[in-house]
Amino acid sequence: MVKVKLNITNIQLDCDDITISFAESPKIGDEISVLNFLPYDTSERENFLYETEGKQLSFNGVITKRRWISDNPTTQPILLLDIEMLEE
């Protein structure tokens, strides 16, 4: 399992508290549906829907950059993904 955090580059979204587990590490160029990873009935999800509708973007994005981060050397590192949302 790989823990992943999202950084969406073309909309304003606070994803600092959202950590996702993937069975396999996503690669640059992979397309993911960001909406599937936002908890239902939360302000983050509502803000995401508002931002994507306002900018006419789909719920899918492409991974453009990836890097490993760690707050503490004794904990598992987290993969930070930069995602660019696709136009509808």
Q: Where are the domains of the chain?
A: 2-87
Q: State both tokens at 25.
A: 């590490």
Q: What percent of the chain has pLDDT over 70?
A: 92
For residues 3-31, average pLDDT: 79
- pLDDT by residue (tens digit) across 27-43? 999 999 888 888 888 88
pTM greater than 0.85 (yes/no): no
pLDDT score at 37: 81
- What is the structure's pLDDT at 20? 75
